[in-house]
Amino acid sequence: MTHLNKDSPPILIVHGAADKTVNLDLSRDFDLILTQRGLPHEFVIVQDGVYSFDLQPQQQDLRPVVGNFLRKYLLAP
């Protein structure tokens, strides 16, 4: 968070709600800070998601989320 500034790239935060390794509140706090600073980002909570998962965990297919994020920020005029 120390290095965030107006030139920071868009950030996609994806966090499993059942993560026992990293507390979900850390991602919630990061989302809040990014919002307060007006920095482009998206925050997705994977219900019942654990610490590590791929783009297709059984709880939620994340391919559309990632694809839309990339299209929004990489193909933006």
pLDDT score, position 77? 65
pLDDT in tens, 26-38: 999 999 999 999 9
pLDDT score, position 42? 98
For the chain, the maximum distance between any two Cα atoms, rounded to a whole number of angstroms, is 40
Amino acid at site 50: V
pLDDT score, position 75? 86
DSSP 3: T
pLDDT in tens, 12-68: 999 999 999 999 999 999 999 999 999 999 999 999 888 787 777 788 899 999 999
- Is this model's pTM higher than 0.85 or not? yes
pLDDT score, position 76? 63
- In angstroms, the CA 31 to CA 15 distance is 11
Chain centre to alpha carbon of residue 77: 22
Task: Give yes or no for a contact between 4 and 35, defined as CB atoms under 8 angstroms apart.
Answer: no
- Helix H or strand E encompassing 42: strand 41-46
